[in-house]
Chain A
Amino acid sequence: MKLAYAADKCSGCRACELVCALENFSALNPKKAALRVSGHFPVPGRYTLAFCDQCGTCAEVCPTNAINKDENGAWLINGEDCIGCGICALECPKDVMYLHDDNGSVPIKCTHCGKCMEYCPTGALFDADGAILPRR
């Protein structure tokens, strides 16, 4: 499973943000999602998506080795080992580690659950490995 994005298909509906936070935090709160849709209007009139590609930079820079790879290839933060230094968020090349007051100083990071790909109605978010089929 590998998250990929086709901007020309994105309608900016943010279903991906909503399902991400509902799945991972049981919260109706896109500010707790691990990805972000942005509109760029009126020029050039397109959306972009910031999302994690599991590059592992966060794990490399973590001073307490609190970020480790799971069996699905996702780098996950162990909240007990995290000291909230914020270096991972600072060094993240895609700026997709988010802070939210409800989560203390532990950043919110993509868990590679696949929910966003599953419920992207336009197929803009899709699985480059083809395990999850785009909706259209």
Chain B
Amino acid sequence: MISGYAGQTLRINLNNRQSSTSPTPESWKKEYLGGRGFVARAFWEEIKPGTLPLGPENKIFIAPGPYSGQFLSSSGKLHFGALSPATGGYGDSNMGGHMSLELKQAGIDLLIIEGMADTPVTIVIDNGAVSFRDASAYWESDTYVSERRLKEELGEEWQIAVIGPAAVHGVVYACIQHDFGRQAGRTGVGTVMGSKKVKAIAVRGSKDIPLANPRAALAAGEKFMDAVMKQPGYTHWQPYGTPEVVPWASGVGVMPTRNFQTGQIEGYNGLNGPTMKEKVTEIDKGCTSCAIPCGKWGPGVVNGKVKPQEGPEYESIALLGSNLGINDIQQVAYLNGVCDELGLDSISAGNVVAWAMECYEKGYVAAEELGRPMRFGDAEAAAWMFEEIAYGRGFGKLLGQGVKAAAAKVGRGSETFAMQIKGLEISGYEARYAPAMMLSYMTCDVGGHHNRSWAVTFDIATGRENFEGKAERVVWLQHVRPLYDTLGCCRFPWVEAGIEPSTYADFMEPITGVKWTWDELLTVSERIWNLTRMISVRHVPGFGRASDLPPARWTLEGHVDGPTAGKHFTPAQADELLDRYYALRGWDSNGIPRAEKLQELNLGFCVAK
């Protein structure tokens, strides 16, 4: 028996409110590790072709990894997956906090939620025993109120994941919130939870998590904490968190500004780490065992109105700040708090509202239609529109269906600046003149998302016009970065502090009892990458090269100002990036994994018969 795992898959059927358990397959531990790997493997097994994202046949998969909940700095990660209502394809999202530890202590390596409840429910998992509580009284309540209420009803030690009004009203980019500020934000996993009438999941566990060698695991964790805290990047990143990226991102012109019209924001120091520390941050808020907590807690302010919130981190600063033409960190924090309360993914929400602002400023949509004027820089207007979206009111109802759907409805060329890929709104890097980053977005398995491959620094370091080595870098990053979501820990000790990523192979033996090399772990990650690709091939009609193309703005328009003013690549160059990438991946010219590649990765079950 491989250690480090809790032991069970828990399946909850909402149709008949029954649950069952089965042992975590030993073969899955070896071939998929956990977390994202378990989510993808179960997804393939369980979601049949023709399933509708918001229909009863869709399922939610929730999985910690072998490193989740360990005494190993920054190991609080938990993975969520479902067929995405935003893209129609493979969807997943990763969340920090303390819920992964609690799930494992409740005995769970994989939680599968299937069917649909007839009335709003909270799923209660007490040491593995499942019960259901009526959630009708707080079904429409915001996330803070709902989580607080459950903490008071059940006890402070319970770990809770909850949805807000956005999910209740079917916004396709609704998130799942936990611990008053941690989210599984992307791809609409919260929307799927809402469609199943699950308001919250509450977990408590008290079981030991089996360790192959507890003393060695403790010693490894001690050594690792020492190493993280002694990294040169530590003193720089720890006090400020991800807002430290802002001056660099705006300086090199990759910070999305006014709906990706440019890559720099005037007065960017109003959004940087020291300004946030001075004006917003009251305390740090860390995930399990984290020595380098990126979570910062403090109030946001707009026109005298105050909202407590966690963050904002760089992505929210980019999408709720510069991309809305706002350079005041207190205002961004306020908007972040609004999104968190409503249960909106702050990335997609900021992206969609920026598109609406551009539509208004260009005269494509009038103030009467929107409900009020929507100008860049107007935080009050943005906060108002987030509520309209979350409650499905007025123009907000259309915006809640995502920027792709909204642009298709409005037309008039607004599709050109609908900044999405595969139907998922692009996150916080303006990548039209950063080929590795643009390719990262184009080929990200869930759509326009940065975190599978954060290659923008590589572009700056190796020349932005240069294509050599870019596809190779993207493939490598797409194996390394999602591996953290698979193991159940956070990338920041590597990305921020500077720990060598291969260090992570060393923890497998004391925790699981199995010796792994770094290359073996990367092979698992490549297997999962091909599997998630095949899931989208299976579920999205016509999925292929066309799904990987960037939004028109990126290949037709240059930046209006800044260090890369006027620069962009052509559609033919975007195709060239894809050609290089597909060849490296062993995929055909339409971007479909070849049968030989799938067989090589032990994914023969994905080969069409």
> Are A and B genuine complex partners?
yes
Residues of A within 8 A of B (CB): 8-15, 18-19, 22-23, 26-32, 36, 38-39, 41-43, 45-47, 100-102, 119, 121-122, 135-136
Tell yes or no: B297 within 8 A of A by CB.
yes
User: Is B179's CB under 8 angstroms from A41's CB?
Assistant: yes
Nearest 5 CB-CB pairings of A with B: A11-B286, A13-B286, A121-B291, A41-B180, A11-B284
Query: Smallest CB–CB gap between A116 and chain B, Å?
Result: 11
Tell yes or no: B191 within 8 A of A by CB.
no
User: Is A12's CB under 8 angstroms from B209's CB?
Assistant: no
User: Is A136's CB under 8 angstroms from B208's CB?
Assistant: no
Q: CB-CB < 8 A to B283: which residues of A?
A: 8-11, 45-47
Query: Smallest CB–CB gap between B215 and chain A, Å?
Result: 7
Choose one: B101, B208, B222, B295; the contact of A11 (CB below 8 Å).
B295
Tell yes or no: B214 within 8 A of A by CB.
yes
Q: Residues 157-179 of chain B: 1 if any A CB is under 8 Å from the residue's CB, otherwise 0?
A: 10000000000000000000001
Query: Smallest CB–CB gap between B570 and chain A, Å?
Result: 47
User: Is A43's CB under 8 angstroms from B291's CB?
Assistant: no
Query: Smallest CB–CB gap between B190 and chain A, Å?
Result: 19
User: Is A28's CB under 8 angstroms from B229's CB?
Assistant: no
Residues of B within 8 A of A (CB): 69-71, 73, 98, 101, 105, 144, 148, 156-157, 179-181, 205-211, 214-215, 217-218, 221-222, 225, 229, 238, 282-293, 295, 297-298, 308-309
Known A22-B217, A122-B284: A136·B229 in contact at CB below 8 Å = yes
Choose one: A15, A29, A135; the contact of B208 (CB below 8 Å).
A29
Q: CB-CB < 8 A to A10: which residues of B?
A: 283
Known A19-B71, A29-B105, A45-B308: A12·B208 in contact at CB below 8 Å = no
Main secondary structure of the interface of B (DSSP, over half): loop
User: Is B69's CB under 8 angstroms from A28's CB?
Assistant: yes
Q: CB-CB < 8 A to A41: which residues of B?
A: 144, 148, 179-181, 297, 308
Q: What are 25 A-B residue pairs whose CB atoms fall within 8 Å in the complex? A: A8-B283, A9-B283, A11-B285, A12-B285, A14-B289, A15-B71, A15-B290, A22-B71, A23-B218, A26-B215, A27-B208, A28-B69, A28-B208, A29-B105, A30-B105, A31-B205, A32-B208, A38-B157, A41-B148, A45-B283, A45-B297, A46-B283, A121-B286, A121-B291, A122-B293
Q: CB-CB < 8 A to B298: which residues of A?
A: 45
Cα A23 to Cα B208 with chains together (Å): 14
Cα A10 to Cα B238 with chains together (Å): 14
Nearest opposing residue in chain B for A40, CB measure: B156
User: Is A11's CB under 8 angstroms from B214's CB?
Assistant: no
Nearest opposing residue in chain A for B222, CB measure: A119
User: Is B308's CB under 8 angstroms from A121's CB?
Assistant: no
Choose one: A13, A26, A39, A42; the contact of B288 (CB below 8 Å).
A13
Query: Smallest CB–CB gap between A128 and chain B, Å?
Result: 21
Nearest opposing residue in chain B for A38, CB measure: B156
Cα A39 to Cα B148 with chains together (Å): 11
Choose one: B181, B214, B222; the contact of A27 (CB below 8 Å).
B214
Interface centre among A39, A100, A102 (most CB of B within 10 A): A39
Cα A107 to Cα B434 with chains together (Å): 59
